[in-house]
Structure 1
Amino acid sequence: MNWTRPLHHQTPSQERRSMLFGRSKKRGDPLQERIDCLIGADASIQGDLVFTGGLRIDGRITGDVAVARIDAGTLTIGDQGCIEGDVRVSHVIVYGEIRGTVYATGLVDVRPNARIWGDVHYGSLEMQAGALIEGHLIKHRPVGSTQ
């Protein structure tokens, strides 16, 4: 069973603003398509977790979280969600907290009350007022890039 989010239609000014910040809303982008798996607020998992598609975590994970194919996987960490371990994904949206290193080839979206204790390797970064990152920010460079 797939849980899908309704597609939100943007006004032209919202679309331009999104594109200015490197976040164009394209159809087929795994960042906005769906949530394939949900880990509820009362769930607690000890051990590494590998997923495909979209994963939302509202509970606690003690272990690394990674996407099976780095080009297609979005992780959303809810307000009460917590990961104690490294995260390796294409896109991550953080409302809760991460205690470990984040490796994201695409977007790292850090929402107002989010907390990250660890380095963040990112393709693009969006950080809202009130969010906290306690660690280094390292821009991911595509293979063959000179800068």
Structure 2
Amino acid sequence: MFNKKKSVPRVVIDQFSSLISGNLSLVGDMEFEEGLKVSGAIRGNVCHKPGTHSLLALSADGRIEGNVSSYDALIDGTIIGDLVVEHLLELHSNARVCGNIRYRQLSMENGAIVDGTLNRMGDDEEAGQVFELPQPQAREG
């Protein structure tokens, strides 16, 4: 009765339509749809095409220096920049993120490191929406 484990959502990997292999370094912004696997290095923003169910997989040797967005993401490498994931984010044990993360669902393994804030998106929020807190007003006294 108490032994039942809650099912954890997982991303299904069928195939990747694009690959940045380990021997490739790319400088510049890029937009992708469907599946993108990164084993090399990218210096620039990596964004999915809005409205698509994209999957980004960053291998343990992969590195992205720039802001990243995807529908689903499997991160096992390094991101230096902000990360926005509209659906499911999996941070594997080698994941290193130096930046703020916004996600809807999160799975994080032991060993993953985040140097920034983790912010969960609500069901009615848009992925790219940013909320700012009002600045405190000085009190006269």
TM-score by length of 1: 0.77
Match of 2:87 among 101, 106, 131: 106
Partner of 1:4: none
- Point out the structure with max Rg over C-alpha: 2
Question: Measured at CA, do residues 102 and 18 of structure 1 come closer, stay the same or move farther in structure 2, by a change above 3 Å?
Answer: farther
Structure 1 match to 2:111: 130
- Number of residue equivalences: 123
Equivalent residue for 2:120? 139
Which residue is 1:72 aligned to?
A: 53
SS of the aligned residue for 2:47 comes to strand
Q: Provide runs of 4+ in structure 1 moved above 6 Å.
A: none
Task: Tell me: CA distance 1:42–1:141, structure 2 relative to 1, closer, same or farther (3 Å).
Answer: same
Structure number having the greater helix percentage: 1
Measured in 1, the distance between the counterparts of 2:67 and 2:76 equals 16
Identity of aligned residues (%): 27
Unaligned runs of 5+ in 2: 126-141
CA contact (8 A) 2:34 2:52 kept: no
Q: Retained in 1: the 8 A contact 2:88–2:105?
A: yes
One-letter amino acid matched to 2:93: P
Verify the 8 A CA contact 1:49 1:66 in the aligned structure 2: yes
Q: How far apart, in 2, do the equivalents of 1:115 and 1:70 lie?
A: 27
Q: CA deviation at 1:142?
A: 2.2
**CA separation of 1:84/1:137 partners in 2, compared to 1, >3 Å: closer, same or farther?**
same
Name the TM-score, length of structure 2 as normaliser: 0.80
In structure 1, the gaps of 5 or more residues are 1-12, 26-30
